């Protein structure tokens, strides 16, 4: 049962789960965080101190909830967009955790849907810029995006 913390120690948490796989993600946020994550069900993550110091960052669909310590800025964990009942935990925050002993799977986040502010209400536009109107909208029901194959994707998913 690994314990974890941010850098300054204000935020501490415990993970009551065996970590058998790590993931990386190539979405624009995870790349900048250089994040290596473990997927943990919400029931297995307990914040033991500093919950009031966590800051929340949301972007794109604003479905995922990316938390970080407001004091030291370290990303601790986030609620996943594709699996909102799960957290992605920053494994480098876990005390004594040997990330090199666990297989790492690279997940694709960069290809996930990105919401353009205000676009959806008007789409398809009669003459949308940059030829966007030529690509037919993909319905979530068609499954053509294939996002559901990778539940560990961090950046998001269509609403279920
Ligand atoms: Zn901190």
For 43-98, write each residue's pLDDT tens digit. Answer: 999 999 999 999 999 988 888 999 999 999 999 999 998 888 999 999 999 999 99
Ligand 1: centre distance to CA 108 (Å): 29
pTM of model > 0.85: no
In tens, the pLDDT along 12-45 reads: 999 999 999 999 999 999 999 999 999 999 999 9
pLDDT band at 139 (very low <50, low <70, confident <90, very high): low
Ligand 1: centre distance to CA 13 (Å): 12
Q: What is the dihedral of CA 157, 33, 107, 45, to 10 degrees?
A: -70
The Cα–Cα gap between 49 and 69 comes to 11
* Average pLDDT over all residues of the chain: 81
Vertex 10 angle, CA 53 and 73, to 5°: 65
Ligand 1: centre distance to CA 73 (Å): 6
The Cα–Cα gap between 36 and 22 comes to 6
Q: Which position has the higher pLDDT, 119 or 88?
A: 88
Q: What is the pLDDT of residue 108?
A: 87
Q: What is the pLDDT of residue 137?
A: 52
Q: What is the pLDDT of residue 78?
A: 96
Q: What is the pLDDT of residue 81?
A: 86
Domains of the chain listed by start with CATH number: 3-127 (2.170.150.70)
Ligand 1: centre distance to CA 118 (Å): 35
């Amino acid at each position: 049962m690994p314990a974890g913390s941010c850098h300054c120690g204000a935020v501490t948490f415990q993970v009551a789960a065996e970590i058998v796989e790590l993931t990386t993600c190539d979405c624009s946020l995870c790349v900048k965080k250089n994040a290596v994550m473990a997927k943990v069900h919400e029931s297995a993550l307990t914040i033991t101190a500093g919950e009031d110091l966590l800051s929340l960052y949301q972007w794109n669909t604003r479905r995922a909830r990316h938390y970080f310590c407001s004091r030291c800025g370290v990303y601790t964990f986030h609620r996943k967009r594709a699996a909102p009942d799960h957290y992605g935990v920053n494994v480098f925050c876990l005390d004594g955790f040997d990330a090199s002993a666990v297989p790492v799977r690279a997940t694709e986040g960069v290809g996930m849907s990105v919401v353009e502010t205000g676009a959806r209400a008007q789409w398809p536009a009669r003459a949308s810029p940059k030829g966007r109107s030529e690509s037919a909208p993909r319905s979530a029901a068609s499954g053509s995006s294939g996002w559901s194959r990778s539940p560990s994707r961090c950046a998001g998913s269509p609403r279920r």
